Chains A and B, each alone.
Chain A
Amino acid sequence: MPFKDISGHTREILALKNAVAANRVAHAYLFSGPGRSGKGLVAKTFAMALNCTVSSPEPCGLCSDCVRIIDSSHPNLTEIGPSNKDGAPDPGGLIRIAEVRRLQGALRYRVENGMKVVIVDSADRLQPQAAHAFLKTLEEPPPDSVLILVSARASALLPTVLSRCQRVNFRPLEESVVRDFLVNRTGLGAEESARVAHRSAGSLGIALEYVESDLYSEQMEIASRVEALGPNETMQAMKLADELSKMDGLAGLLEFLKLRCRDRVASVSGARGLAVTEVVFGQKTGVEELVEAYSLIEAARVDIASPCNINRLLRLEALFFSLMELSSGCSGHSAQAAV
């Protein structure tokens, strides 16, 4: 897909196109920004721009080089991403040292035309050892190579990795961009599209998921139950933890809960046009508590994800007890007393 067909991200794309046109392409980029908003697509199109023999800096998308990059069968393109222990792709997995070695192997060949491009998807999933093994290549890749790290959580990357990349910050897509995309692609009505776009936090991937399923209402329902947990409702908390620990989209749900916290902070501060919530309740809670809740949820998400893989049930129970403690406002003997 040529740059012009990509929804949004005009500022970021312009910067990349200028780099190609001026022949000042950096050796390593870090594309950071909210998840599923099109960073990977931009990275791939950038690879096309560097390899397209027909037009530059806007790739044609039709020549054999472009087509093979789209199919990921171009010899100049190497893509790595998180995988499980058996090497099968798994978004919750890790990028292991073997993968880094593989890409180093691919980079040692000379190019026939264009430039070698490596796309490291979810670069924050690099195992520390793998990241260390990567540093030398990242700092000084072989000639004619461009490394693109894509991450929705750039803060989780090692500082040594961050300092070696030119950073391109992708902002959340504007609501109007998401709305127009939904109207054009899914045939959803304008009003409904606007509502979904509003809830999607600037991510096309999430917006599409909301269109295709009842995910939003499910997440809202669970979020309201979590937020409604009172100081002494230990049994409910444990039941909820048990239920959620068996759920498939737990990581997505925790993200959603975080966004809710963010929205509530924003609404307490008097903001309008919130990311995931139209109606905000529970304003009793102060900003500091909400920020604290956000951090607690994030900590739980990290613990549950690989490589920690902490027992989901226990971790969720712990999370809910801390949240209950927080909302009760006291320094919290109630939860422990109840246990």
Chain B
Amino acid sequence: MEFLIEKPAFLKTLQRVQGIVERRNTMPILSNVSLSANNENETVDFLATDLEVFIKDSSKAEVKQNGSVTVNARKLFEIVKELPENSISFKADQNCKVTVKSGKSKFNIMGLPTKDFPVFPVVDESKLEKIDSDKLKEMIDKTAFAVSLDETRYNINGFLFEKDDLITRMVTTDGHRLALVEEQNDLGIGKQEKNSVLLPRKGMMEVRKLLDEECENGFFISITEKNASMKKDDTVINIRLLEGEFPDYKKVIPEGNDREIVVDKNQLLTSLKRVSILSSDKVKGVNFKFTSTGLILTATSPDIGDATEELDIEYSNEEIEIAFNARYMIDMLDAIQEEKIKITLKNSLSPGLVNSESGSNYTYIVMPMRL
């Protein structure tokens, strides 16, 4: 195969696909990206996978000879990034020896034949539905930080994506906190077959990256019992779904939290960041004391010292003291846009509930600590 391609286009596509490439080298070919040139429509198709997330992309190029080859994605990316000239010539021979030329530099790399490369799963185009990418982006941002990173608890290693007639819902948890965001059903996901699936973290992070980029024709998504696919212009991401039962989040949402506190988000965020510097290293425990005159945050580290800060809040009930992991609060406060948040509590040992003050589409539950 042989083609001529512009550096920016080549680099952009490579960057997008190489994020998915397998880092552990259990199957050598998975560290490669597959390129196939097609002179009919003058495009080069890129394909990369770690067998969990598949990504397909294509780029315009001047194709001189059809063919396909796979080469190490990271090395090719590094090479292309540093090439001196704008025009790049890419050539692969029968033995999968790849030559990349630009200006006076020339690189020879050994590739592998595409026949050993995994096949991209079939995406049923008819199931793809256009969706509001800004809303999806917001939903991911508001929940992504609470996904569990504990690989042994695979049923909470991802996003629960649920949809009924009226509402599209995304839930994540790591056992200490739970984030839930709901949108009225105008996201555009209507025809999906199953209404509750588990989407793995890695795949969703790739989707999130894609959502940041400009797109001409909108963003399409399809979720079936077997996999989830996202399509944006020429880029298609296919994600395998997670197996397992997500915990029943409805049971976790506390009831009877009658002490309502309204607090300015930015104030709380910056104060917490300051105060938590002096919380003990392992768990960033910070004490919250809500009184009718204000909120007093305190953090103590036996070896270093302590910190206190007072904030204005809207609260009229009797005094209550509770401790939270500051990390969990900061993650959440960083992710939301609202100016004011509403914290509802029951007592110092029951979970706290955080909502946005205006609407109720966001719910965050965080377990208290004993300090």
Among listed A104-112, A254-262, A296-304, A305-313, interface-contacting one: A104-112
Expressed in whole angstroms, the minimum distance between the Cβ of B34 and any Cβ of chain A is: 12
Do B154 and A108 touch (CB < 8 A)? yes
Nearest A residue to B157, CB-CB: A108
Given contact pairs A73-B116, A75-B118, A102-B26, A112 touches B152 in the complex (Cβ within 8 A): no
Do A75 and B51 touch (CB < 8 A)? yes
Number of chain A residues close to chain B: CB under 8 A: 23
Expressed in whole angstroms, the minimum distance between the Cβ of B16 and any Cβ of chain A is: 21
Expressed in whole angstroms, the minimum distance between the Cβ of A78 and any Cβ of chain B is: 9
Q: Which of A64, A73, A109 has the most CB of B within 10 A?
A: A109
Residues of B within 8 A of A104 (CB): 151-152, 154
B241 touches A (CB below 8 Å):
yes
Bound-complex Cα distance A113 to B225 (A): 11
Nearest B residue to A105, CB-CB: B151
Do A75 and B240 touch (CB < 8 A)? yes
Interface string of A72-95 (1 = CB under 8 A from B): 111100000000000100000000
Expressed in whole angstroms, the minimum distance between the Cβ of B86 and any Cβ of chain A is: 36
Interface of B is mostly: loop
Interface string of B235-277 (1 = CB under 8 A from A): 0000011111000000000000000000000000000000000
Given contact pairs A71-B116, A75-B51, A112 touches B27 in the complex (Cβ within 8 A): no
Expressed in whole angstroms, the minimum distance between the Cβ of A65 and any Cβ of chain B is: 10
Expressed in whole angstroms, the minimum distance between the Cβ of A215 and any Cβ of chain B is: 30
Residues of A within 8 A of B24 (CB): 102
Do A109 and B151 touch (CB < 8 A)? no
Number of chain B residues close to chain A: CB under 8 A: 26
B243 partner, pick from A64, A72, A74, A143, beta carbons under 8 A: A143
Residues of A within 8 A of B200 (CB): 109
Residues of A within 8 A of B119 (CB): 64, 68
Q: Which of A72, A104, A112 has the most CB of B within 10 A?
A: A112
Expressed in whole angstroms, the minimum distance between the Cβ of B111 and any Cβ of chain A is: 16
Interface of A is mostly: loop
Nearest B residue to A108, CB-CB: B154
Do A108 and B118 touch (CB < 8 A)? no
Residues of B within 8 A of A73 (CB): 27, 29, 116-118
Bound-complex Cα distance A109 to B197 (A): 11
Bound-complex Cα distance A75 to B200 (A): 16
Nearest B residue to A77, CB-CB: B51
A68 partner, pick from B52, B118, B121, B243, beta carbons under 8 A: B118
B226 touches A (CB below 8 Å):
yes
| CB within 8 Å of A: which B36-71 residues | 51-52
B227 touches A (CB below 8 Å):
yes
Residues of B within 8 A of A108 (CB): 154-155, 157, 242-244
A142 touches B (CB below 8 Å):
yes
Residues of B within 8 A of A110 (CB): 225-227, 240-243
Residues of A within 8 A of B226 (CB): 110-113
A153 touches B (CB below 8 Å):
no
A225 touches B (CB below 8 Å):
no
Do B240 and A112 touch (CB < 8 A)? yes
Expressed in whole angstroms, the minimum distance between the Cβ of A330 and any Cβ of chain B is: 55
Expressed in whole angstroms, the minimum distance between the Cβ of B66 and any Cβ of chain A is: 21
Expressed in whole angstroms, the minimum distance between the Cβ of B326 and any Cβ of chain A is: 30
Expressed in whole angstroms, the minimum distance between the Cβ of B197 and any Cβ of chain A is: 9
Do A109 and B242 touch (CB < 8 A)? yes
Given contact pairs A73-B116, A75-B51, A104-B152, A112 touches B121 in the complex (Cβ within 8 A): yes
- Between A and B, 18 residue pairs with Cβ closer than 8 Å are A71-B116, A73-B117, A73-B118, A87-B25, A102-B24, A104-B152, A106-B51, A107-B243, A109-B240, A109-B241, A109-B242, A109-B243, A110-B226, A110-B240, A113-B226, A142-B244, A143-B243, A144-B243
Closest 4 CB pairs of A and B: A108-B154, A109-B240, A110-B241, A142-B243
| Residues on A facing B (Cβ under 8 Å) | 64, 68, 71-75, 87, 101-102, 104-113, 142-144
